[in-house]
Structure 1
Amino acid sequence: MGVGSPSPHRNWVQNPPPNPGKEAHQRETYQAFDHLQQLFHDHCNALVAKQPANDLEVIRRAPATRTVGKSWRKRGPRRRGLRCASGIQRFSWTHVEVALRMLRREARLRREYLYRKAREEAERTAQERKDKVRRALEENRLIPTELRREALALQGSLEFDDAGGEGVTNHVDDEYRWAGVEDPKVMITTSRDPSSRLKMFAKELKLVFPGAQRMNRGRHEVGALVRACKANGVTDLLVVHEHRGTPVGLIVSHLPFGPTAYFTLCNVVMRHDIPDLGTASEAKPHLIMHGFSSRLGKRVSDILRYLFPVPKDDSRRVITFANQDDYISFRHHVYKKTNHRNVELTEVGPRFELKLYMIRLGTLEQEATADVEWRWHPYTNTAHKRVFLSAE
């Protein structure tokens, strides 16, 4: 090695050999840091959503610069805080840990719920297969072709089944376990940039559901709406859509895990269209559910009736959901007794028709990932002949 030749050790220090393991570890570290930073910002937004309006302001300071020698260097962004009536609350990594625990808990509860749903669906499918074999044996008919290979095994398992245990536990026990114990908390909002008629319709829906609250949509995203509703204990989120000023869609999303039902609105008549109606009663109404005899019909009936609290016996307010040919007619009345035999009905409004076209198992922001429980297929050859909400 000559006098002017560079040292091999120096070259190795300046240009170290590639280390794939170290690079992968650094890449994973950067990804984890980015994920924690996103969780931190989401947690900040959740804290902001919990605070009352005009009482809290998020402080965001731009990165400052300072002179070091003769060169300019950027100083990192200052700490982020909340300015409220009590002063400034600073965030630390403790808040990130709290956010991580909250997300882990929500993910765990969601996994447990999906596991129970999967087990229930498997048990229901097995029970339907056994019922088909039982009916074929009782009526002395041929066993269905798809069940002939396992007919003997199904017949053997029928000996251990007894009557009276159908429908005891199902997903309704998990989704609506507090129904009848605690009053539902309903939040009503609209699509973005609503017209004046859609705002009127949202106000009238607020009068339909006792204790409901209406929220202006503004520029809020669906995910932010759902997170704010979960943080404030909202049980159901209703979103109304329109087309050229006419309400055409209603989404009912049950929180925190679902389901989410999608309805089409038609023949909408609002209270604002009828003069001299007076004030609407806000008492807890009695419900009339008519024509929901199929399994899907009972599912839709549960989604709709659990939006209302338990009424008192002396309530004079009645709300009707009447199904006919899969069109659900909504009517709102109050009644009074004229004598010991006759009752006088007065329609309060609004009135409209609902047409179900989809049910998803998740909440509203999980539209891209949630499983579809049921979907209406209008372009099949027998779509105009079939009814789904009634067994007739």
Structure 2
Amino acid sequence: MIRREARLRLEYVYRKSLEEKQRLIDEKRQTVKKYVDENRAIPTHLRKDAIDLQQDAEWGGEVSAIDDEYRYAGAADPKVVLTTSREPSAKLKIFLKEMRLMFPNAQRINRGHYDIKKLIQACKANDITDFILLHETRGNPDGMIVCHLPFGPTAYFTLANVVMRHEVPECGTMSEEYPHLIFDGLNSALGRRLTTILKHLFPVPKIDSRRIVTFSNTQDFISFRHHTYSKDEHGEIKLKEIGPRFEMRPYLIKMGTIDNADAESTEWALRSYTNSARKRPLMLSVPDDDE
């Protein structure tokens, strides 16, 4: 069983590496095609292969490989399992219960003395699609790890300004409808990657669902908000926050699962402590052409 999982994981990582190479080539093709169509000078680093790239752009060369990570998305509802770090505080336990209500078809597991590898093996055996691990520091929730099963990816987030449901005034009861999702300001390559990871934690909602979950990016901090809406007698829409709410910031994406994090390759990592960190543009969003 262990050898089979290792072999399947290696095959998956190899396919992903081929897809990444193909994606980079396709970006070069589209760049050359764009500059030729606009009658502009081709960038220096692409001039050597410009003719071949232009011919491939005209006759195909699109990325057509199937992404195995979310191949069953939409066909079956996701099954999410949530747990905490060991010896959680009372506040982290409450936060775990509220996060369990956030995701339809989710289950929570008391961590106890279970090892992460055993938890992941049990999740894989029961066809769990995503595993979420919540962390804390001195009683305050400050970390979340989202691991997609069975092969990854695994996204790491820091949490800040966590507000529980009981701290939201007049929050009412938690709706069990499948929520509509709003992703705002996540239009860069990294933002789209995180959007893919987060949106597949939720099942496909019905059209008449009145529950809304928002992930809004501002200065590379993703604000998580949870609302329901209703219409009054005059037809005006009223939003009601039902919590919880917090801010998320990604700092690492691994290609594999959390139980083999040290052995897996890093897809993206936040580099804050470098001389050029302040000069770098925002990671999760890119300016529009109109701006």
TM-score by length of 2: 0.91
TM-fit CA distance, 1:119: 1.4
Contact 1:191 1:241 (8 Å CA) reproduced: yes
Who is 1:118 aligned against?
17
Give, in whole Å, the separation in 1 of the partners of 2:104 and 2:160: 23
Whole-angstrom CA distance in 1 between matches of 2:257 and 2:248: 20
C-alpha separation between the residues in 2 aligned to 1:316 and 1:110? 39
1:12-23 paired onto structure 2 within 5 Å:
none
Q: Deviations over 1:186-244 (max 9, x none)?
A: 10001111111111111110111112111111111111111111111111000011111
* Residue correspondence of structure 1 range 375-390 to structure 2 within 5 A: 375-384=269-278, 385-390=280-285
CA distance in 2, matches of 1:170, 1:326: 30
RMSD: 2.0
2:286 corresponds in structure 1 to: 391
Q: 1:58-97 alignment to 2 at 5 Å?
A: none
| Count of aligned pairs | 286
Q: CA 1:157–1:343 in structure 2 vs 1: closer, same or farther (change >3 Å)?
A: closer
d(CA) in 2 for partners of 1:376 and 1:170?
A: 28
Q: Which has the larger radius of gyration?
A: 1
Given the alignment of the two structures, is residue 312 of structure 1 paired with residue 206 of structure 2, yes or no? yes
Which of 286, 291, 295 in structure 1 is aligned with 2:185?
A: 291
Residue 359 of structure 1 deviates from its aligned partner by 0.7
| Cα distance change on mapping 1:197 and 1:111 into 2, 3 Å | same
1:353 aligns with 247
Q: CA deviation at 1:147?
A: 2.8
Query: 2:11 is matched by which residue type in structure 1?
Result: E
Q: Tell me, in whole angstroms, the C-alpha distance in 2 between the residues paired with 1:367 and 1:330.
A: 26
Q: How does 1:355-374 map to 2 (within 5 A)?
A: 355-374=249-268
- Structure 1 contact 261–359 (Cα < 8 Å) conserved: yes
Higher helix share: 1
Aligned with 1:267 (options 129, 141, 161): 161
* Counterpart-to-counterpart distance in 2, 1:118 and 1:330: 32
The answer as to 2:27 corresponding to 1:128 is yes
For 1:254, the equivalent position in structure 2 comes to 148
Contact 1:120 1:170 (C-alpha < 8 Å) held by counterparts: no
* Cα distance per residue 1:326-348 (max 9 Å; x no partner): 11111111111103530111110
Distance change >3 Å, CA 210–CA 158, structure 1 → 2? closer
TM-score, structure 1 normalization: 0.69
1:109 maps to which residue? 8
Alignment match, 1:234: 128
Structure 1 residue 148, shift from structure 2 partner: 3.4
1:6-17 map, 5 Å = none
Cα drift, residue 314 of structure 1: 2.4
Q: Distance in 1 between matches of 2:123 and 2:57?
A: 46
Aligned partner of 2:217 in structure 1 is 323
Secondary structure in 2 aligned to 1:320?
strand
Describe the SS at the equivalent of 2:162: strand
- The aligned counterpart of 2:114 is 220
AA at the equivalent of 2:153: P
The CA distance in 1 between the partners of 2:203 and 2:131, in whole Å, is: 15
Change (3 A) 1:180 1:158: closer
The change in CA–CA distance for 1:281 and 1:159 in structure 2 (over 3 A counts) is closer
Distance 1:224 1:369, change over 3 A: same
For residues 187-198 of structure 1, what are the structure 2 equivalents within 5 Å? 187-198=81-92
2:91 is equivalent to residue 186 of structure 1 = no
**Uncovered stretches (5+) of structure 2, i.e. residues with no partner:** none
AA partner of residue 119 (structure 1): L
Contact 1:265 1:354 in 2 (8 A): yes
Q: CA deviation at 1:383?
A: 2.8
Q: Which residue of 2 is the match for residue 52 of structure 1?
A: none
CA distance in 1, matches of 2:109, 2:17: 35
Contact 1:251/1:260 (8 A) holds in 2: yes
Once residues 170 and 387 of structure 1 are traced to their aligned partners in structure 2, the CA distance between those partners, rounded to angstroms, is 29
Shift of 1:114: 1.7
Give the aligned partner of residue 47 of structure 2: 148
Q: Note the alpha carbon deviations across 1:295-329, whole angstroms, 9 max, x for none.
A: 21111111111101111222221111111221111
Change (3 A) 1:336 1:159: closer
Tell me how far apart the structure 2 counterparts of residues 346 and 175 of structure 1 sit (CA, whole Å). Answer: 35
* Per-residue deviation, 1:250: 0.5
The structure-2 alpha-carbon separation of the partners of 1:186 and 1:159, relative to structure 1 and needing over 3 Å to count, comes to: closer
Q: Distance in 2 between matches of 1:146 and 1:258?
A: 34
Say if 2:188 and 2:284, in contact at 8 Å, map to a contact too.
yes
Q: Higher relative contact order by CA 8 Å / sep ≥ 6: 1 or 2?
A: 2
